């Protein structure tokens, strides 16, 4: 449903006590969306997978043709497949519209 759309990924907070907060915006693209399990697989556009912390909460902004959505969650896995750096992002509490600040209903 969101496949191919551009994504800005930003760290919101560190979960680990010894983690380092990174205020960089990471450029991604939606590789696959799994609404049943509430996961988004993101293709990271940069080469350094270790720049993405597994001990942090992120905000994921998805640009569609008609709206800008965001969701929060954590990166559960980061891995390389073929020529792609992929992130398995676990969505918490669904999607919100950036401009209205209202919760959006999940789409099939």
| Distance, first Cα to last Cα, the chain | 8
What is the four-CA torsion angle of 54, 4, 25, 83, rounded to 10 degrees? 60
The answer to whether residue 41 sits within a structural domain is yes
pTM of the entire predicted model: 0.86
Which two three-digit tokens encode residue 27?
Answer: 């450029």
pLDDT tens for 49-98 read 999 999 999 999 999 998 899 999 999 999 999 889 999 999 999 999 88
Domain count, the chain: 1
Residue 108 falls inside a structural domain: no
Q: What is the CATH number of the domain that holds 88?
A: 2.30.110
* 53 in a structural domain: yes
105 assigned to some structural domain: no
Quote the domain boundaries for residue 85. 6-97
Residue 22 included in any domain? yes
Q: Is 1 part of a structural domain of the chain?
A: no
């Amino acid at each position: 449903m969101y496949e191919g759309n551009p994504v800005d990924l930003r760290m919101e907070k560190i979960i680990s006590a010894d983690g380092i907060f990174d205020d960089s915006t990471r450029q991604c693209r939606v590789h696959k969306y799994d609404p049943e399990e509430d996961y988004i697989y993101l293709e990271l556009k940069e080469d350094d997978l270790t720049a993405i912390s597994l001990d942090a909460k992120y905000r994921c902004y998805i640009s569609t043709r008609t709206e800008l959505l965001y969701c929060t969650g954590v990166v559960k896995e980061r891995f390389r497949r073929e020529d792609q750096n992929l992130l398995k992002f676990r969505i918490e509490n669904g999607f919100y519209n950036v401009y209205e600040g209202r919760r959006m209903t999940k789409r099939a």
